[in-house]
Structure 1
Amino acid sequence: MENKKTTFIWDIIFIIYLIVLIYFATTPKPPFNYSRFPNEDKMWHFLAYGGGMFLFLKTYFHRKILLYLFGGIIFILPIGSEYIQALSPYRYFSMFDALASYAGIFTVILILFIHKKIVLSILNNKK
């Protein structure tokens, strides 16, 4: 179990991440120019939400009440931010952006699930 200082630091990192993500998702104009290659924005959606899910699980996995609270926010944010973007004259709704975000979220969940199974398998074989 992590100590309280480390837990507090992870809390702060996740909250800052969440604020930055919500800010970038809801600003009238996109904060970055996504024109280096086709569908570059999908890659950034995948990485941003995948990274966010990693931070989220690292921060709240063992704290059930906060896990459910922030988990709900994480799962609503991709589609919610797309609907908010549809209200802006500079941005548009893209289901593919939301799907890329959810793909990042579920990829991290899958990787952590597989990692846990492998670690448990190794520990059981050592007995």
Structure 2
Amino acid sequence: MSDARPLRVVFICAQNKLRSPTAEAVFRAGYDWEVASAGTNRDAETPLSRDLLEWADVAVCMEKRHRDVLRQKFRGTLPDDRILTLGIPDEYDYMDADLVTLLKRLVPGRLEGTRPRQEPA
């Protein structure tokens, strides 16, 4: 019997209105992942929190500045090798076809081989 659980992925942008919710919607089905999304800004739709990062196995940031905020504000919550940066600028609407294509091209390969963190015994 395997106790493996799905990989938990949180997608991060600034406002959690366009890019990260698109990623959450795109990867919600068809992958062996549990997904969530959040924003680094205080007024984000779902603000990034320590609890969310502790839940996640991997954080996928849209831009370097989101990774930098995560590292500074939530230091030590996720190791650096569990924080990915896609380099997707804030120039897309929610579910924009080009954004969806870009996410599908970039994300699965970056997460391939990533395993869930070990739960404390």
Q: Same fold (TM over 0.5)?
A: no
Is the radius of gyration larger for structure 1 or structure 2? 1
- TM normalised by structure 2 equals 0.29
- Structure number having the greater strand percentage: 2
- Structure number having the greater helix percentage: 1
Q: Higher relative contact order at CA 8 Å, sep ≥6: structure 1 or structure 2?
A: 1
